[in-house]
A and B are shown apart, each in its own frame.
Chain A
Amino acid sequence: AQTVTQSQPEMSVQEAETVTLSCTYDTSESDYYLFWYKQPPSRQMILVIRQEAYKQQNATENRFSVNFQKAAKSFSLKISDSQLGDAAMYFCAYRTPTSGTYKYIFGTGTRLKVLA
């Protein structure tokens, strides 16, 4: 069965600095999708970024980028120029299979604090 592990329950970063959140996963599949979702205090899950496993190029969305290492089954999120609004829970998610019916598997989350 697929699993997603986020080993950092909590992280802190100074405003305007860069922080990296870690995520590892376990799967025997070769094609899948990976996501990072942000959950602010309002509790609504917001998509931050997604990565297709068949793409070697790392996904980037403005200040957010990922370091996808398929062989190592690692999918970390880098937040550059951190802002106070980035403070939230961040969940790493794995999607299986790639088409038709699907199921998302989430990690336990990393709480990010941004210090002014």
Chain B
Amino acid sequence: KAGVTQTPRYLIKTRGQQVTLSCSPISGHRSVSWYQQTPGQGLQFLFEYFSETQRNKGNFPGRFSGRQFSNSRSEMNVSTLELGDSALYLCASSSGTGNGNTIYFGEGSWLTVV
């Protein structure tokens, strides 16, 4: 069974631009969550989607948004990029139901803002 797939793997953007990252979950998984990883802040939760609905979100500004499609694929968008948005963005998927369902991560998308 294929794992979590994230695209693109690497990208460079200019300050002020916007970026869209994509995540395809493990087949059968309906929950997708996103995390930002930076050296200074570690791994921080962005948001979680289940069946096309955002169920939970972290403490990030409104420039960070996401959505989920009917096939469970998810995208996250960052508008008006700032230098501090440079990070590894990790997507994770899980079944989304039941107790303690474990999340499985993709390889991440490296975003560099210049």
Contact = CB atoms under 8 A, between A and B. Distances in A.
A46 B104 CA distance: 7
Contacts of A104: 33, 35, 45, 103
Given A43-B107, A44-B105, A45-B90, A99 B42 contact: no
A98 B100 contact: yes
Contact of A44 (B56, B97, B108): B108
Q: How large is the interface on A (under 10, 10 to 19, 20 to 34, 35 or more residues)?
A: 20 to 34
B70 interface: no
Contacts of B105: 37, 44-46
Tell me whether chain B's interface is mostly helix, strand or loop, or mixed.
Answer: strand
B104 A101 contact: no
A113 interface: no
A42 B42 contact: no
Contacts of A45: 90, 92, 105
Nearest to B55: A101
A99 B99 contact: yes
Contacts of A99: 97-100
Contacts of B102: 35, 47, 50
A33 B100 contact: yes
Contact of A52 (B45, B56, B100): B100
A95 interface: yes
B58 interface: yes
Contacts of B88: 43
A98 B99 contact: yes
Interface in A47-99: 47, 50, 52, 91, 95, 98-99
A103 B43 contact: no
5 contacts: A47-B102, A102-B48, A103-B56, A104-B103, A106-B42
Given A45-B105, A109-B42, 4 more contacts: A101-B55, A103-B56, A104-B33, A104-B103
Interface of B: 33, 35, 42-43, 45, 48, 50, 55-56, 58, 88, 90, 92, 97-108
